Chain A
Amino acid sequence: MTHAALAGAVTRAERWSADEALEELYAAHWRQLVRLAVLLVRDVGTAEEVVQDAFVAMHGRWGRLRDNDKALAYLRQAVVNRSRSVLRHQVVVDRHLRAESARPSETAPDADTGALAAARRIAVLNALGQLPDRQREVLVLRHYLDLSEAEIADALGIARGSVKSHASRGSAALRELLGDLWRDES
């Protein structure tokens, strides 16, 4: 699109900046957001769909976001919300399908990745899957994305005090589920 074509056309200019923002945010965050979604829904294919949907929705709302930081916050929120919806939808629609898709990352372990490391990855994803939604979301936003309590409260639409309690209950539950794996970091 040429600059001449943009001149004077506000909606087209907005359109262009939405496309540009999409490209920039995709380049910078696609992989991390998919990984975030894998921590939430386990299945890589589902995670990619969730994040694709989030990008499409973000593009649609660009006229009101108009800012890469806000757009990134929106993307994270959309990924968390859609992941939760997907999990529930799967529960509702087809439990067999869910069992199928609930398998952890389909990527085969690298040849030089120890069996213990692979087992640990699976165990961590399985353990996350057993946590209540909120605890899983808070843990992942806090410790995977390094968001502050205030940012998490905004993203999930809950009070900061709830973030704290979900985080502490979630990590306690995860510790119990993981047992020795929690500390065996070698």
Chain B
Amino acid sequence: MTDHELRDLRDLLTDAVADVEPGHALDQIRARTTTTRRRWPYAAGGAVLAVAASVTAFAILGSDTTPRATDPGSTTSPSPTPSPTASATDSETQSPSAVVAVYYVGDTPDGPRLYREFRSAISDDLLTEAVSAAVGRAPDDRPLAPLDPDYRSAWQSGTAVSVRTVPDGDDDVIIEINLGGDPEGSLHDRGSLSEAEASLAIEQLIYTAQAAIGERAPVQFLLNGERTDQVLGVPTSEPLANGPVLDTLAHVSLTTPSEGMLIDNDEPLVVEGVGNSFEGNIVTRVEDLTGSVVVDQQPAIAGWGEEKLFPFEVTLDLTQVSPGDYLVVSSTDDPSGQGRFHSDTRRITVVE
């Protein structure tokens, strides 16, 4: 592009919004920064404290934490196969030696919830690598964002973690998550995080660590190597169990396709995920970026009525879809008709 064209582009953009004069909003913003937010019912009830002895493995484990066979080389086994030649900077283009499930915060009509994202892992410490990803940190200490831009970590950059399992009795283990990297005060106190955000931050790490070892083991938090009465204002003096699944996780979370995946339109598109929806109905459709449906919604039956997410799978025909960028949208059913359904989306690029 020539300098002249660059200037034209800049002028076009500037001109396009030159008549936009937004209203005054400082008072509204101020009101919202001082509002007492809804208490997080789980933490408020004190149920977040659970001693190791009272925690048993969850039935949901199989469906919730095990990557499907379509994730090449996937494993949640605690004995990883390290790939010494992989470098952190382009790990996504390498064939992964392992896949970890990382839980990130995303929005739902019921407020922020955790979504699960599978990522390739490269280090020989999958547990620490997965939990580090959840706080937004790569093995080489660089910032690491979720692959899906709809997700975010509740933790601020600069937070570092190391994670290990320690035996607890004959058969059980406790996961020990040691937090550091930031000034102590900011990890000890909630600061200006809402209680919901602080609780979800803790749940991000509990769910991610449990998925990495394939066991709903209790989690003991440490701050700079020491036991601490609280992390982000959440009581942590005792090992914590994960929060109730349906109050913590989004009710639909896609496993495949992954964000940005290239899909050949001659091949059927297999959409897989986990969900919990009224009468088990999860509907999946493909839309172009203007919101026009290009593949009508198709139902899949997950399950409902239990405190867990059920796997679902649906196969879509893309032969009538021309090459380009699309969104795969899977949503829960909404019997109330009030639009309060959870959904997860993935951007895909269809090629011929």
Contacts and interface: CB of A to CB of B under 8 A. Distances in A.
A26 B122 CA distance: 42
Counting chain B CB atoms within 10 Å of each CB, the highest count among A15, A60, A130 belongs to A60
Interface in B1-49: 1, 5-6, 8-23, 25-26, 28-30, 32-33
Interface in B301-352: 325, 327, 329, 331, 339, 343, 345, 347
A84 B143 contact: no
A84 B106 CA distance: 13
Nearest to B156: A64
Contacts of A121: 15-19
B10 A143 contact: yes
Nearest to B182: A64
B149 A109 contact: no
A174 B149 contact: no
A110 B158 CA distance: 48
Given A64-B156, A143-B10, A88 B345 contact: yes
Given A48-B25, A60-B194, A133-B289, 16 more contacts: A11-B189, A15-B192, A26-B25, A26-B26, A31-B21, A34-B20, A39-B17, A48-B22, A56-B32, A59-B33, A90-B291, A93-B339, A121-B16, A121-B17, A124-B13, A129-B290
Query: Which 4 residue pairs are nearest across A and B when measured between Cβ atoms?
Result: A157-B145, A34-B22, A35-B17, A124-B16
B33 A107 contact: no
A113 interface: yes
24 contacts: A18-B192, A19-B30, A26-B25, A35-B20, A38-B17, A55-B29, A56-B32, A61-B192, A64-B182, A81-B149, A85-B150, A88-B150, A91-B327, A91-B329, A92-B329, A93-B339, A120-B15, A130-B289, A133-B149, A143-B13, A144-B13, A157-B145, A171-B1, A175-B5
Given A39-B13, A132-B325, A56 B33 contact: yes
Contacts of B78: none
Interface in A62-114: 62-64, 81, 84-85, 88-95, 98-99, 105, 107, 109-110, 113
Interface of B: 1, 5-6, 8-23, 25-26, 28-30, 32-33, 107, 143, 145, 149-150, 152, 156, 158, 182, 185-186, 189, 191-194, 197, 287, 289-292, 325, 327, 329, 331, 339, 343, 345, 347
A94 B33 contact: no
A34 to B, nearest CB: 4
A22 interface: yes
Counting chain A CB atoms within 10 Å of each CB, the highest count among B6, B9, B143, B182 belongs to B9
B156 A88 contact: no
A132 B156 contact: no
A8 B334 CA distance: 52
Question: Chain A interface: which size bin?
Answer: 35 or more
B192 A94 contact: no
A183 interface: yes
Given A88-B327, A91-B329, A107 B8 contact: no
Contacts of A52: 25, 28-29, 32
A148 to B, nearest CB: 14
B291 A95 contact: yes
Contact of B23 (A19, A22, A48, A64): A48
Contacts of B33: 18-19, 22, 56, 59-60
B332 to A, nearest CB: 11
B29 A56 contact: yes
B150 A84 contact: yes
A98 B150 CA distance: 18
A185 interface: yes
Interface string A142-155: 01101000000000
B19 A113 contact: yes
B9 A107 contact: no
A80 to B, nearest CB: 9
A48 B18 CA distance: 15
Contacts of B182: 64
Contacts of B6: 143
A16 interface: no
Contact of A105 (B20, B289, B292): B20
B247 to A, nearest CB: 21
A183 B16 CA distance: 14
B13 A44 contact: no
Nearest to B293: A95
Interface in A147-186: 157, 168, 171, 174-175, 178, 181-183, 185
Contact of A182 (B8, B10, B22): B8
Nearest to B327: A91
Contacts of B145: 157
A117 interface: yes
